[in-house]
Amino acid sequence: MLFFFRIASVVTKKGVLCMADITLKGEECHTSGILPQVGSKAPNFALTDKDLSNKHLSDFQGKVKFIYAVPSLDTETCLLSTKKFNERAKDFPDVVFITVSADLPFAHKRVCSAEGIQNVITLSMMKNRDFSRDYGTFITDGPLEGLSARAVIILDADNKVIYTELVPEISDEPDYEKAYACLKHG
């Protein structure tokens, strides 16, 4: 299955700003940028864990990182995908599975406890939205403005981007098999 999304360019006083066009139930909306390019070094991040501690990309140094950015774990598709990743994480013991959303850490704790999510680390953009801006998933307009678009970003042990997928329709699930194939053949 191929996924297509359109990249738009906007000329600003600071130069050209690229953004991706995505949809929510067929209605067009946009992200603040594009996903990091495969082969590039991933931007650092500071996110909040369920215990309110700060987590940075460097906390996972030396491990492959499977990052799943979502609008909210309190939505059907985000929760379903996170549960699927939680189940498949058992097949990849050397990979850190991370789901990032704008939900409060308290919601992450509640959802993970209720749904038995133990193999995925859930991190919150509670304190700022830099992660979604730096990774090109920040939604700039539409009903989900300020949240993250749905995306999968896989980083190798040295934080080099080895796989990306921006899901073009926010309510759709990502391409699980392509992402798992990347983990298997990296």
Judge whether residue 13 has pLDDT over 60: no
Pairing of strands 120-124, 95-101: parallel
| Tokens 């090109």 sit on residue | 136
CA 152 to each of CA 44, 51, 113: distance values in angstroms, whole numbers, following the listed order: 16, 24, 23
Please report the DSSP string for the chain in residue order: -----EEEEEEETTEEEEEEEEEETTEEEEBSS-PPPTTSBPPP-EEE-TTS-EEEGGGGTTSEEEEEE-S-TTSHHHHHHHHHHHHHGGG-TTEEEEEEESS-HHHHHHHHHHHT--SEEEEE-SS-SHHHHHTT-BB-SSTTTTSBPPEEEEE-TTSBEEEEEE-SBTTSPP-HHHHHHHHHH-
Domains and CATH numbers, the chain: 6-185 (3.40.30.10)
Q: Which of 18, 29, 78, 182 is catalytic?
A: 78
Q: 29 an active-site residue?
A: no
More confident residue, 115 or 15: 115
- Residue 76 pLDDT grade (very low, low, confident, very high; cuts 50, 70, 90): very high
- The amino acid present at 26, given as its one-letter code, is G
Judge whether residue 1 has pLDDT over 70: no
- Residue 20 pLDDT grade (very low, low, confident, very high; cuts 50, 70, 90): confident
User: What pLDDT sits at residue 9?
Assistant: 42
User: What pLDDT sits at residue 44?
Assistant: 96
Q: C-alpha dihedral over 137, 40, 15, 141, to 10 degrees?
A: 0
CA distance 34 to 136: 4
* pTM score, whole prediction: 0.89
Burial 33-46 (b: 16+ CB within 10 A, else e): bbbbeeeeebeebe
Contact 156, 186 (CB under 8 A): yes
Q: Which of 107, 111, 174 is nearest to 137 (CA)?
A: 174
